[in-house]
Chains A and B, each alone.
Chain A
Amino acid sequence: KQEVTQIPAALSVPEGENLVLNCSFTDSAIYNLQWFRQDPGKGLTSLLLIQSSQREQTSGRLNASLDKSSGRSTLYIAASQPGDSATYLCAVLGSARQLTFGSGTQLTVLP
């Protein structure tokens, strides 16, 4: 059974800091890993998708890396802004086509 863990559960940083969110998974037989953002009371917004054959993906101030063999992914956010405050979720698509989520990291960027 695939298990996905996100550390830390919550993070508070001052505006302008660079930060890293972590995601680990127990079964390395995955098709891809996806990072999402969720604002309070809202749905999920896809941020980045990394295929199993890729090492990283970038979109604007966001960079996601994947080390499939060690079962780890990181989401790097550069020059954080108060508008980045949200919960960030990672999800892995496993061999049975199950999409398994971590419990998320709640990020607060202080002005």
Chain B
Amino acid sequence: NAGVTQTPKFRVLKTGQSMTLLCAQDMNHEYMYWYRQDPGMGLRLIHYSVGEGTTAKGEVPDGYNVSRLKKQNFLLGLESAAPSQTSVYFCASSPGTEAFFGQGTRLTVV
């Protein structure tokens, strides 16, 4: 049972490049979340999904897009990366009760 898996674990991007972060869960959870965590701060919600085919904006959605075409996958896209998007990104899934987190993706935009 893999739980929540994030791909990749590390990435360095140049300003203006695009990339997609993948979050995969094998627990058949309805709810999935993308967060960013910056030094000295808690986790801030970027986007989330309450089921396959649905997405909703969180606290800091600007500069990011998401898709949930399959129930088990939640993709986070950066169309034109900016240095302000340098952060650690965490994905979570939940059946509506306890939330389970991936190990994070450390993204640096130079």
| B104, chain A: closest CB distance, angstroms | 5
Say whether A44 contacts B101, CB under 8 Å. yes
For residue A101, which residues in chain B have a CB less than 8 angstroms away from its CB? 35, 42-45
**CB neighbors of B among A38-95 (8 A):** 42-44, 46, 49, 51, 89, 91, 93
Say whether B90 contacts A89, CB under 8 Å. no
Say whether B41 contacts A103, CB under 8 Å. yes
B64 within 8 A of A: no
Over the window 86-103 of chain B, the binary record of Cβ atoms lying under 8 Å from chain A Cβ atoms (1 yes, 0 no) is 000010101011111111
**Beta-carbon nearest neighbor of A45 in chain B:** B101
* In the bound complex, CA of A43 to CA of B91 (Å): 10
Say whether A103 contacts B90, CB under 8 Å. no
B58 within 8 A of A: yes
Q: How many residues of A contact B (CB 8 A)?
A: 24
A34 within 8 A of B: yes
Say whether B48 contacts A46, CB under 8 Å. no
Say whether B42 contacts A102, CB under 8 Å. yes
B50 within 8 A of A: yes
4 nearest A-B residue pairs (beta carbon): A103-B42, A101-B42, A101-B43, A44-B101
Question: Which residues of B are at the interface with A, using a C-beta cutoff of 8 A?
Answer: 31, 33, 35, 40-45, 48, 50, 56, 58-59, 90, 92, 94, 96-104
Subset of 30 A-B contacts with CB under 8 Å = A4-B42, A6-B42, A31-B97, A32-B97, A34-B99, A42-B103, A43-B102, A43-B104, A44-B43, A44-B101, A46-B98, A46-B99, A89-B42, A91-B43, A93-B96, A96-B56, A97-B31, A97-B48, A98-B45, A98-B48, A98-B56, A99-B45, A99-B92, A99-B94, A99-B99, A101-B35, A101-B42, A101-B44, A101-B45, A104-B42
Other CB < 8 Å A-B pairs besides A44-B101, A96-B56, A101-B44, 19 of them? A36-B101, A43-B101, A43-B103, A46-B98, A46-B99, A49-B97, A93-B94, A93-B96, A97-B31, A97-B48, A97-B96, A98-B56, A99-B31, A99-B33, A99-B48, A99-B94, A100-B59, A101-B42, A101-B43
